[in-house]
Amino acid sequence: MPERRSRVLLQHMVEDIPDTTLPANWVDFNLTAFSQDKTLWDYQQRALQNALKALWKYYEDFADYQPGEDLKTNTDRKRQLWQWYQDNGLREEFSLDLSRRNHRLAALLQEYYEAEGDRLPYEHFINRMGFWMATGSGKTLVIVKLIELLARLIRREEIPPCDILFLTHRDDLIEQLKRHVQEFNRAQSNLRIVLRNLRDYATVKRETNSLFHEQEVTVFYYRSDNLSDEQKEKIIDFRNYDNDGRWYILLDEAHKGDREESKRQHLYSILSRNGFLFNFSATFTDP
């Protein structure tokens, strides 16, 4: 079979949006500063600027986010984003053929998405963006800064108050995130990122807010390869953390393509179906 070649579309689409189009609430961020010893390079700042434009397009231009809005509004945003892609030259057929998925996965997908015959329209999964960043390019700095931007946009009621989840497939990458967050926090005076294991989700939701909760953002983390549709010792059932699909998921190294990983990719989409999925990787294989 011929190899499917990836095309970069969203980057070009958002770069065509003039910087002056975005309101002040979407642009008055310091994209350079990280810590006392680290600042972001131009290419890292451009990645964040493009992310802001994409989120503005989705949460304001398509349908201006309003606190307490109906989930149908998000469905309409997905439809408009899919149409925007098509208006910008997307012609490929990306709908999922359920008849080619195993019965269990097909049934699972249909619990959360409405099928058209034997196919799931790709617009169900369109609320995502990808960051192509090579190893050693400072990807973790961009991830932490994106968390900051999401937290500040939530605080300004520009985007929904979805919970934030960081997923990656290696423990050392989780430890790397922790080190960068500690360094970031030491340089901040009005925002502190608090990392919590996803297994503590129910406990965190029951906890009484601290005196400084308005200056804190909780970010959950877990091993992406330990997320499944069943519960075992280390494996967790995603249903226990579904949160009605209201997650901003930051997925690090999302390029693996084995069969089990392909199933998990759909679980990440389900969890973020009413939020947004941010993929970070040097290479991508989307199932």
The answer to whether residue 27 is domain-embedded is: yes
User: Under a CB-based contact definition with an 8 Å cutoff, are residues 27 and 52 in contact?
Assistant: yes
The answer to whether residue 286 is domain-embedded is: no
Taking Cα atoms as reference points, which of 238, 217, 244, 89 lies closest to residue 156? 217
Q: Has residue 278 got a pLDDT over 80?
A: yes
The answer to whether residue 54 is domain-embedded is: yes
The answer to whether residue 23 is domain-embedded is: yes
pLDDT for the residue 223: 95
> In which domain, by residue range, is 264 found?
10-92+127-281
Question: Phi-psi region for residue 68, left (φ > 0), alpha (ψ -120 to 50) or beta?
Answer: left
Average pLDDT over residues 69-87: 96
Q: Has residue 55 got a pLDDT over 90?
A: yes
Question: What CATH number should be reported for the domain holding residue 240?
Answer: 3.40.50
Please report, rounded to a whole number, the percentage of residues in the chain having pLDDT higher than 90: 78
The answer to whether residue 52 is domain-embedded is: yes
User: What's the number of domains the chain is made of?
Assistant: 1
Cα Rg of the chain (Å, integer): 19
The answer to whether residue 104 is domain-embedded is: no
Q: Has residue 4 got a pLDDT over 90?
A: no
Q: Which of the residue ranges 84-88, 100-104, 203-207, 280-284 has the most confident prediction, judged by mean pLDDT?
A: 84-88
Where residue 234 falls among pLDDT bands split at 50, 70, 90? confident
pLDDT for the residue 257: 47
**Per-residue b or e along 118-129, where b marks 16 or more CB atoms closer than 10 Å to that residue's CB:** eebbbbbbbbbb
Cα-to-chain-centroid distance, residue 249: 4
Q: What span, in angstroms and rounded, lies between the C-alpha atoms of 38 and 181?
A: 12
Backbone angles phi, psi at 279, to 5 degrees: -100, 130
The answer to whether residue 1 is domain-embedded is: no
The answer to whether residue 36 is domain-embedded is: yes
